[in-house]
Structure 1
Amino acid sequence: MDKVQLPSSDVKITPITFGAWAIGGWFWGGAEENESIKAIEAAIANGMTTIDTAPVYGFGQSEEFVGKAIKGKRSKVELLTKFGLVWDRKSGHIHYEKTVDNEGNPVSLYRLGSKKNVIKECEDCLQRLGTDYIDLFQQHWPDSSTPLEETMEALEILKDQGKIRAGGVSNYSANEMKKAEKYFKLSSNQVPYSMVNRDIEDEVVPHCIANNKAIIAYSPLQRGVLTGKITADYKFSEGDHRPTTPFFKEPNLSRINALLDKIKPIAESKQATLAQLVLNWTMRQPGITCVLAGARNEKQVLENLKAAELMVSDDEFASIRKKLDQLTLEV
């Protein structure tokens, strides 16, 4: 798989990247360690060498699983992780109240971008991942309680120390990116983007294209609803947060499945799954540098990899876009 270069760095990443949120278990109804590690190993062995994780994904579990899977393979992989969501201390910006960790203990999440915290989190990430450097370190969410220049200064310090190769942000607006750029040369912005969630096309995409910033698209399958496998009677595991989100509720679920029925013939004509067609569509949209494709097991990894191989014509993409423009959702 040909890699693409992150701007303002010498880091190259794969256009489909292993998204490690689900293997953290939190919000996904748990995760099995051996299956998770085998999934990462399969990704690396088949050319998907870039892995995106975060401390909050399972409160350290995702990073720990990644660390075990890449042991002895560090030179072959690119590690993307994050900072700025904490659960072991309070800050001035509450992010998520009253959730539970993987052991069922009540926790609240806070956004914290202070210099001291960013540097501490980097050390914690390095330890869990079993490495001495991170390829891309990203602020998970903006923190209104910390001056932006302080957060960006921390990234500069870590880069100078060689502990990170590049710095980026996540869930930033175009305007927030402009402000951050005054203090640090950002490589990327990781943002939600899918067929049914295209808000970034208005401002973030034009800004990133004009200023040579990478866009790392997360939730391209909208947490699984765009696979076509989520029906009204689908049984979710205990602790799975997805049924409470707008795209999984009616009338949205029925409308999304009706859209998928309309584009399914395109996938079938290529002997592909809906998920593969959706991933391919997302990869090929203007400004998108790579897409994060989550997987819990080896089978899902191999299915995701096939998405990059699909040959979809401009006419077929135009047909899909027309159907998307006709879709109305209540979000």
Structure 2
Amino acid sequence: MELRTLGKTEIKISPVIMGTWQAGKVMWAGIEDSQTIKAMQAAFDAGINTFDTATVYGDGHSEQIIAKALGSVRTEIVIATKVFAHSLAYDKVFEACHKSLKDLNTDYIDLYQIHWPAGSFGSKNIPVEETMSALNKLKEQGKIRAAGVSNFSKEQIEEAEQYGQIDSFQPPYSLFWRFAEAEAIPYCTENNISVLAYSPMAQGILTGKFGTEPKFSKKDHRAKNKLFQPENYQRILAALDQLKPIADRNNITLGQLALAWVISNPGVNAIAGARNPEQAAQNAKAGSIKLCEEDVREMDEIGKSVTDHLEDDPVMWKW
């Protein structure tokens, strides 16, 4: 697949990025390290060069798995990780970064992102100026190459930019979850900030694999996903029936169609997780799919049959 430039940097990323939340195991069920490692290696072999993680994914376990799986090709990959909302004070940013460097077994992080704005999940309201000051210093020291934000509003991105260069924005974004389209994504497009969309397959809904009544274990965070709630899920099933013919005429799966739609948007890249090598390879194929304008327009209308009925709340889960 053809690589893209990350924001205003010289870093080259794949349009399909492997997400590794599941590699941390916490809030997921049925995850095996051995399969995760093989999935990461399969993703790399299939052309994915960018891997997204966070220190909060299993308290560093996801980062450690990346180190085990891809340590031998470190110079050929781009690692994006995140500092959580509870660690945004100046000194805590350094502590978190050094922990990530150790868990990743590397001496630099390509993209270091603020995972959630200060104040999220009961965290302290640290001024973004203080956090950005720490990120700027880490960049000067060569410990990170670029800085990004995740789960920010347009206004929060603008504020962060006052204190340093922001090269990426990570929102939840898919055909069935499009709150970021209103303001944040257009702003990023205008200001050369790469969008790294997480949950581009709506946590698996857009693969069509869950059937008429999705069921999850209590440990699986998807049970709290608003899209899986009955009032939304019935509309989703109808939409999937309409999407299937589009996938069929392009000779691709529903999941690949969902990823291809996301990356067809200018400046938008898709973070897709995988439990095993087969899923990773299938996701990678989406990076080379070019949808025609008619298919994109039709998908846009189908997606709105779901999104037009959602509550006006950009957070995807009922935590």
What TM-score does the superposition give when structure 2 sets the normalisation length? 0.92
Deviation at 1:26? 1.7
Match of 2:280 among 294, 298, 301: 301
Asked if the contact 2:217/2:223 (under 8 Å) is kept, the reply is: no
Unaligned stretches of 5+ in structure 2?
A: 120-124, 312-319
Paired amino acid for 2:188? C
Q: Could you say what secondary structure the match of 1:82 adopts?
A: strand
Residues 189 and 216, structure 1, Cα contact 8 Å, conserved in 2: yes
User: Aligned pair count?
Assistant: 305
Structure 2 equivalent of residue 230 of structure 1: 210
Number of the residue aligned with 1:269: 249
CA-to-aligned-CA distance 1:70-111 (integer Å, 9 cap, x gap): 1211111110000024xxxxxxxxxxxxxxxxxxxxxxxxx3
| Partner of residue 292, structure 2 | 313
Could you tell me which residue of structure 1 aligns to residue 122 of structure 2?
A: none
C-alpha distance in structure 2 between counterparts of 1:326 and 1:238, whole Å: 29
The answer for the alignment partner of 1:216 in structure 2 is 196
Task: Return structure 1 stretches of 4+ with deviation > 6 angstroms.
Answer: none
> For each residue in 1:182-236, what CA deviation from the matched residue of structure 2 results, as whole angstroms up to 9, or x when unmatched?
1111111111101111111111012111211111111101111111111243443
Where in structure 1 are there 5+ consecutive unaligned residues?
86-110
RMSD: 1.4
Q: Is the aligned partner of 1:201 residue 2:176?
A: no
Measure, in 1, the Cα distance between the counterparts of 2:221 and 2:292: 36
Percent of aligned positions that are identical: 41
Give me the whole-angstrom Cα distance separating, in 2, the residues matched to 1:179 and 1:112. Answer: 19
Distance 2:56 2:30 in 1: 14
CA contact (8 A) 1:8 1:166 kept: no
Provide the rounded CA distance (Å) in 2 between the counterparts of 1:146 and 1:238.
33
Is 1:326 equivalent to 2:305 in the alignment? yes
- Select the residue among 111, 123, 127 that pairs with 1:136: 111
Q: Where do 1:146-295 residues align within 5 Å?
A: 146-288=126-268, 290-295=269-274
Task: Return the structure number with greater helix share.
Answer: 2
Q: Is the 8 A contact 2:235 2:305 kept in 1?
A: no
Of stretches 121-130 and 306-315 in structure 1, the one that deviates more from structure 2 is 306-315
| Per-residue deviation, 1:30 | 4.5
Residue 162 of structure 1: CA displacement? 0.3
Corresponding residue number in structure 2 for 1:94:
none
Alpha-carbon distance in 2 for matches of 1:275, 1:309: 14
Q: Which moved more, 1:125-134 or 1:248-257?
A: 248-257
Which whole-Å deviations, capped at 9, do the CAs of 1:244-302 have from their partners, x for residues lacking one?
Answer: 221011121111111010010010112211001011001112341x1101001100001
Q: Which amino acid aligns with 2:265?
A: Q
Task: Calculate the TM-score normalised by the size of structure 1.
Answer: 0.89
The superposition leaves residues 115-165 of structure 1 with CA deviations (integer Å, 9 ceiling, x where unpaired) of 101111110001000100000000001104111111000001100000001
